[in-house]
Homo-oligomer: A and B are copies of this chain.
């Protein structure tokens, strides 16, 4: 769920790299103008013209972490709708294989966070929904999250409204 601007591609990737019982999270503290300012998110970003979802995934992970993914899994597609930005379609992945050494990222600080602890971080409310779906190993899902400001006002899972 990276920075969104009008001219960018409306498709993005969002990846949670796994190591033992932790996810690699980015604390977005480095950019002033950032829809995710001060929040913790996965790594990823906008598609470049012509890229497939995997091509975007591998490039973004490489750019932001220095790691080269060797094993990944599509977990779902998130329709991320706000009252400020155009709707974004986020291809959500987990990755459990990679090579290389982690670098510093200019978009935020990278940290391994225990999966059970992510709910207590300042994250988007809807992210808790997909963290649970990933934990329950729900097959590739479609999740629509509609926000008004920072407030999650609608959650639709595979076409069905969720309370």
Alpha-carbon separation in the docked complex, A51 to B89 (Å): 10
Report A62 CB to chain B, min CB distance, Å.
Answer: 14
B156 and A52 contact, CB distance less than 8 A: yes
* Interface residues contributed by chain A, number (CB under 8 Å): 26
Alpha-carbon separation in the docked complex, A54 to B9 (Å): 20
Alpha-carbon separation in the docked complex, A144 to B55 (Å): 10
Alpha-carbon separation in the docked complex, A95 to B55 (Å): 29
Residue A113 interfacial (CB < 8 Å)? no
B79 and A159 contact, CB distance less than 8 A: no
A142 and B74 contact, CB distance less than 8 A: yes
B54 and A142 contact, CB distance less than 8 A: yes
A77 and B53 contact, CB distance less than 8 A: yes
How many monomers of this chain does the complex have? 2
Which residue of B has the minimal Cβ distance to A160? B54
Alpha-carbon separation in the docked complex, A55 to B154 (Å): 14
Chain A, residues 124-161, CB within 8 Å of chain B (1/0): the string is 00000000000000011010100000000000101100
Which residue of B has the minimal Cβ distance to A48? B87
**Other-chain contact of A87, B49, B54, B77 (Cβ < 8 Å):** B49
Which residue of B has the minimal Cβ distance to A143? B52
Residue A66 interfacial (CB < 8 Å)? no
Residues on the B chain within 8 Å of A89, using CB = 11, 53, 89
13 contacts between A and B (CB under 8 A): A49-B86, A50-B81, A52-B79, A53-B77, A53-B79, A54-B156, A54-B159, A55-B144, A74-B142, A77-B77, A139-B139, A139-B140, A140-B140
